[in-house]
Amino acid sequence: MSETRIFLLPDLGEGLTEAELVSWHVAVGDTISVDQPIAEVETAKSTVEVPSPYAGIVAELHGQPGETLDVGKPLISVTPVGASEPAEPVTAPTETELGEPVETHPEAEAYREEEKAGSGNVLIGYGTPGGHGVARRTRAPKTSVSVLEPQETKPTDDDLTLLRTRVPGKLGAVISPLVRRMAREHGVDLGELPGSGEGGLIMRRDVEKAIHAPVAEPAKTKPVETRPAETRPVETAGAPEGVDTRTGLPIAARTPVRGVRKAVAANMARSRSEIPEATVWVDVDATALLELREGLKAGGSQVPGLLAFIARFVTAGLKRYPELNTRIETASDGSQEIVSFDGINLGIAAQTDRGLVVPSVRAAEKLTARELDTEIRRLTDVARQGKATPTELGSGTFTLNNYGVFGVDGSAAIINHPEVAILGVGRIIDKPWVVNGELAVRKVTELTLTFDHRVCDGGTAAGFLRFVADAIENPTTLLADL
């Protein structure tokens, strides 16, 4: 009797708990090999191919293109060629949340059992454990003890990283998918639930406590009689299908918010709700910078793009004003810390067919303008192809946004949480400008800096903005390393 192996959707890393199935590369009945790409999935970070850890014949495909699959759920079933062993239960490493003891409640036992059978698969795109493509299996020991009996385990830091995920919308806490499901099925509002774990992490015990908390008796009031004709369903009943009840207009389409758009929406909403932002801006005469580039072109050398020059000025400015290259962290007791970094990962906002993404140039402060130009072009290209890695998309410390390419002068941009500042560059156009007391036509652009007022005051923000503006107006002072 052949043994069918079920491959679960692997942990995608970076707190991602779901992925949209884009396409299958195999069909039922196909013979596949270890590490052969079997499907393409799209996450909130990028589009990746999923390799199979098993060789054999495809027995079943668990999902249709366009369907959203949860991490740890079946992706594909494979029957090994020539397998004859009886089927045995397959379990993956036990996943837990934190090392603290968890109180036992009968209603939560189902979740614990499911958690013990969760995915232990490797990060997609990086092969299988040990590079051999062999799935690790846990066989029942030759005793009367079942492998599903509770075991005392202490998770590692890597386990905690893989288990944590951010909830879109207003929730700033970090919780596991199983805790979210437990709360949903028991009607617990996670938005109002304080977390007892590290950094405000909402844990299973918090949900269990809410489930078993006594319900307060409502105040006794005289019941209000209502007639069925006065209820909301009667007001909207009979509305034509496909017509919006509020506006009365036909609904042209419904587009699910998912993938990159979902991640961007959640991040922008969180940024607006958590960060007390302020914006400063200045018009800049970029004539000298444009003339410098034209001179370099005339010399026959490879010339960086304007954005690379500005990126070079930004990294120099952040060295002088490091408060803008930080992050705010909030502890479980509500106290906050400003985290500074020894280095700059410069995010470059890039518009793609999948939405706005921000890949980052790592250690940007060590690169020349030419090196920055090469890396910016590479990152923009992989981002537009949907091939940027989670690390490239999630490690920035400051963002540079060139919205001038869209033909606009300025914008009060939203900070890319958890960063604390973003610099926008508008289009460069001819404008009247006073030079040495005389009116002239110059190439002018607008710089806009939006910053988190918790990390610095207006003086620091204005100092940084003026530094970058002066560098654009007098570029040779900072470009000796070209």
Angle at 381 between CA 392 and CA 445, to 5 degrees: 95
What SS3 state is found at 305? coil
Three-class DSSP category at 352: strand
- Rg (C-alpha) for the chain, rounded Å, is 28
Distances 76 to 7, 27, 308 between C-alpha atoms, Å: 5, 10, 45
Residue listed under structure tokens 């959203």? 68
Rounded to 5 degrees, φ, ψ at 308 are -65, -40
**Is 9 within 8 Å of 227 (Cβ atoms)?**
no
CA–CA dist 273, 417 (Å, integer): 11
Among the listed residues 338, 292, 283, 341, the one whose alpha carbon sits nearest the alpha carbon of residue 312: 292
- The torsion angles phi and psi of 100, rounded to 5 degrees, stand at -70, 150
Fill in the DSSP letter of residue 197.
S
Q: Nearest 5°: phi and psi at 357?
A: -130, 160
Catalytic residue among 25, 105, 212, 453: 453
Residues in the chain: 482
Task: Quote the crossing angle between the two packed helices 287-298 and 306-320, to the nearest 10°.
Answer: 120
| Residue 93, burial from CB neighbour count under 10 angstroms (0-12, 13-18, 19+) | middle
d(CA 59, CA 74): 12
The verdict on whether omega for the bond into residue 390 sits within 30 degrees of 0, i.e. cis, is no
Q: Which two tokens stand for residue 359?
A: 């890949």
DSSP 66: T
Annotation marks residue 212 as catalytic: no
Under DSSP, is residue 199 helix (H, G, I), strand (E, B) or coil?
A: helix
208: number of CA atoms within 13 Å, CB side?
A: 16
Show which residues are catalytic.
453
